């Protein structure tokens, strides 16, 4: 099993550009989330999904869109990149609400917006 796979690992965008951060998991997990990590801010929840076709907002959803058309994939779209979106983005998945083991995280995408 590959676990949670995030692509790309690094990305530089210009202000105003759009892009999609990819996240895929092969563990048949129902729950998936996107977090961003900024210095001194910890991990902040952007969007999450409890199953295919169901998404909801987290703590910092503005400027981001998600969709969950399949169980495996949970892409994060930046609509119009801003320097404030420079961050490390982590995707995570979890089998279901009853799991005692929390999320499995991907290795992250480091995004720089110039």
Partner 1 sequence: DQQVKQNSPSLSVQEGRISILNCDYTNSMFDYFLWYKKYPAEGPTFLISISSIKDKNEDGRFTVFLNKSAKHLSLHIVPSQPGDSAVYFCAATTFHRDDKIIFGKGTRLHILP
Of 14-22, 64-72, 74-82, 102-110, the window that binds partner 1 (rule: CB under 8 A) is 102-110
In our burial notation (b when 16+ CB lie closer than 10 A, e otherwise), range 57-90 reads ebebbeebebbbeebbbbbbebeebeeebbbebb
Token pair in block for residue 64: 């981001």
Closest to 28 (Cα-Cα) out of 73, 58, 68, 66? 73
Q: Does 77 sit near partner 1 (CB under 8 A)?
A: no
Q: Does 55 sit near partner 1 (CB under 8 A)?
A: no
Q: Does 56 sit near partner 1 (CB under 8 A)?
A: yes
Q: Does 58 sit near partner 1 (CB under 8 A)?
A: yes
CB of 25 to partner 1, least distance (A): 12
What DSSP character marks residue 63? T
Give the interface with partner 1 as residue ranges (CB under 8 A).
4, 31, 33, 35, 40-45, 48, 50, 56, 58-59, 90, 92, 94, 97, 100-108
């Amino acid at each position: 099993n590959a676990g949670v796979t995030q692509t790309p690992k690094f990305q530089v965008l210009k202000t105003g550009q759009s892009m999609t951060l990819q996240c895929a998991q092969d563990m048949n997990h129902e729950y998936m989330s996107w977090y961003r990590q900024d210095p001194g801010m910890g991990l902040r929840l952007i969007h999450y999904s409890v199953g295919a076709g169901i998404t909801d907002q987290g703590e910092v959803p503005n400027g981001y869109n998600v969709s969950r058309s399949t169980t495996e994939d949970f892409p994060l779209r930046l609509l119009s990149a801003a320097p404030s979106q420079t961050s490390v983005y982590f995707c995570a998945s979890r089998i279901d609400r009853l799991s005692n083991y929390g999320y499995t995280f991907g290795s992250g995408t480091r995004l720089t917006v110039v």
